[in-house]
Structure 1
């Protein structure tokens, strides 16, 4: 009969396990915090296509806002045209007064402009967001 050895529990081995567990828990907390900031927003990607201008692409998404939902403060690597499909959305662009749009109204958001969108109506709200952006760059960049 052969005896099996159990690996020794050295302080270095225990410390590396604690460190790994700590990193996993911290990562989960960051994921939950980022997700919590966008609770009530539902994004549906519709189109993504290269443009004839090198290094640029067009992206179109539908964003549905639950009642009272607010986006994080963010910017895009290019221009955005926001068209309200339903409900009422308030847009706060950095350096400008807030503007409230109803279904059928649109707003141009310049390249890199930090902004927040909020559902200020009584029910759900939806927007069609069309972007002309730099290719290969994340579409949404959080801003503090």
Structure 2
């Protein structure tokens, strides 16, 4: 039931962003040149202590994100290119434009651009308010 509610919230947020053009209050966490994070939305939601954050994330060809987790759920929707996602406890999956993936709260994961062009995702997070969005896990081994 929680997953269904989270997905419904993510869809509603995506529609609001498309209608309003988004807001830019949230500052991106990653400063890597190969990964460009563009803040689209940060807003409180009806779940106490939670907020939604939505970013566009662009990956240069061959780039691997740091192994990390989030203090809440992530819905990754591939806008362009092909991205391989490795999520702890799950089999790796490669998604192309138009496909998406639900990443449970706290799951350690990473994404790799497996194509020859820039790949982009729309990342929607339903997270604990006031917590750091990215928690790096450099020594975690993924499948």
Which TM-score band applies after superposition, normalised by the shorter structure?
0.7 to 0.9
2:130 to 136, 139, 142: 136
Correspondence for 1:18: none
User: Given that residues 92 and 98 in structure 1 are in contact (C-alpha distance below 8 angstroms), is that contact kept between their aligned partners in structure 2?
Assistant: yes
TM-aligned CA deviation for residue 39 of structure 1? 4.1
User: Given that residues 86 and 103 in structure 1 are in contact (C-alpha distance below 8 angstroms), is that contact kept between their aligned partners in structure 2?
Assistant: yes
Structure 1 residue ranges without an equivalent (≥5): 1-33
Q: Tell me, in whole angstroms, the C-alpha distance in 2 between the residues paired with 1:40 and 1:69.
A: 7
TM-aligned CA deviation for residue 95 of structure 1? 2.0
Correspondence for 1:59: 53
Structure 1 segments of 4+ aligned residues over 6 angstroms from their partners = none
Q: Deviations over 1:25-76 (max 9, x none)?
A: xxxxxxxxx96xx441000000000011110000000000011111000000
2:100 to 100, 106, 109: 106
1:116 to 110, 124, 129: 110
Matched, 1:50 2:22: no
Correspondence for 1:76: 70
Q: What TM-score comes out, normalization by structure 1 length?
A: 0.73
Correspondence for 1:97: 91
Q: Tell me, in whole angstroms, the C-alpha distance in 1 between the residues paired with 2:33 and 2:136.
A: 15
TM-aligned CA deviation for residue 127 of structure 1? 0.1
Task: Answer with 1 or 2: which has the greater Rg.
Answer: 1
What secondary structure, in the 3-state scheme, does the structure 1 residue paired with 2:121 have?
Answer: strand
Q: What TM-score comes out, normalization by structure 2 length?
A: 0.73
Structure 2 residue ranges without an equivalent (≥5): 1-29, 139-143
Greater fraction of residues in helix: 1
Q: Tell me, in whole angstroms, the C-alpha distance in 1 between the residues paired with 2:73 and 2:90.
A: 17
